[in-house]
């Protein structure tokens, strides 16, 4: 019973100190939030947000490899090699991502021929 009271007291103290901290530094937190909201929308749009499509398509294959849709065969192979070096399962990468990278390369190679 004594341990429960001690833990409850420590929990209340933590909540109190946290509330005091938030009240004291609320102005700084509001300024940071305003600065983040004022960032351009495209600042974080470098990466595609979303999952994989059910079937591979040209857009998704180009997004996976990080190339333009009009990229040459040499660019496709170069991008595939670069990404596979970083994501290969033998080097700690995900087997699923490696499969998607290979699928993207195969899709673009077959569509170009």
- What does the pLDDT look like over 31-85, one tens digit per residue? 777 776 766 565 455 555 667 778 888 988 998 898 988 889 999 999 999 999 9
Q: Give the mean pLDDT of the chain.
A: 82
- Tokens describing residue 23: 């009240």
- The reported pLDDT for the residue numbered 43 is 45
> For the domain bounded by 58-112, which CATH number is listed?
1.10.287.110
Kindly report which listed range (16-20, 25-29, 41-45, 66-70) carries the lowest average pLDDT score.
Answer: 41-45
pTM to 2 decimal places:
0.56
Burial track 38-54 (b if 16+ CB lie within 10 A, e otherwise): eeeeeeeeeeeeeeeee
pLDDT value for 106:
93
């Amino acid at each position: 019973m004594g341990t429960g009271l001690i833990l409850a007291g420590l929990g209340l103290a933590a909540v109190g100190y946290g509330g005091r901290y938030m009240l004291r530094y609320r102005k700084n937190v509001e300024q940071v939030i305003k600065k983040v909201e004022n960032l351009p929308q495209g600042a974080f749009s470098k990466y595609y947000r979303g999952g994989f499509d059910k079937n591979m398509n040209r857009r998704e294959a180009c997004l996976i490899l990080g190339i333009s849709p009009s990229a040459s065969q040499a660019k496709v192979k170069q991008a595939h090699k670069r990404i596979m070096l970083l994501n290969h399962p033998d080097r700690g990468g995900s087997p699923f991502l490696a499969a998607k990278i290979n699928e993207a390369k195969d899709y673009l190679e077959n569509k170009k021929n």
